[in-house]
Amino acid sequence: MEFLALAAITVLAAGVYGFAGFGAALIAVPLFAQIVGPAAAIGLLAVAAVGSVPTVLPGAIRRADRRACLWMLGTSFLGLPLGVALLSVVDPVAIRWIMSLVVLGTLAALLAGLRVEWAPGRGTWGSVGGLVGLFGGATGLNGPPLVLFQLAGPDGAERSRANTITVLTLSSMALAPLLFWSGSIGRETILTGLALIPVYAISAWIGQRLFTPARTGLYRAAAFVIIGAAGVAGLPLWD
pLDDT at 216 (0 to 100): 67
What digits encode the pLDDT tens for the residues 110-148? 788 766 666 677 888 999 899 899 888 988 888 888 887
Q: Which residues contact 117 (CB under 8 A, 6 or more apart)?
A: 154
**What is the radius of gyration, based on Cα positions, of the chain?**
16
**pLDDT of 230 over the 80 cut:** no
Nearest to 25 by CA among 7, 49, 6: 49
Three-state SS sequence of 44-88: HHHHHHHHHHHHCHHHHHHHCCHHHHHHHHHHHHHHHHHHHHHHH
List the domain boundaries for the chain: 2-238
CA 6/CA 16 separation, integer angstroms: 16
pLDDT tens digits, 18-44: 887 788 888 899 899 889 988 899 999
Q: Could you write out the three-class secondary structure of 145-173?
A: HHHHHHHHCCCCHHHHHHHHHHHHHHHHC
Residues with Cβ within 8 Å of residue 146, at least 6 apart in sequence: 22, 72, 128, 132, 163, 164, 167, 168
Q: Counting every residue, how long is the chain?
A: 239
237 DSSP 8-state letter: G
Query: How many CA atoms lie less than 13 Å away from 37 in the CB half-sphere?
Result: 11
In this predicted structure, what is the pLDDT of residue 184?
Answer: 85
Global pTM? Answer: 0.83
Torsion, CA 223, CA 144, CA 160, CA 43, rounded to 10: -80
pLDDT at 114: 66
pLDDT at 234 (0 to 100): 76
Q: Which residue has the higher pLDDT, 91 or 211?
A: 91
Question: What's the chain's average pLDDT?
Answer: 86
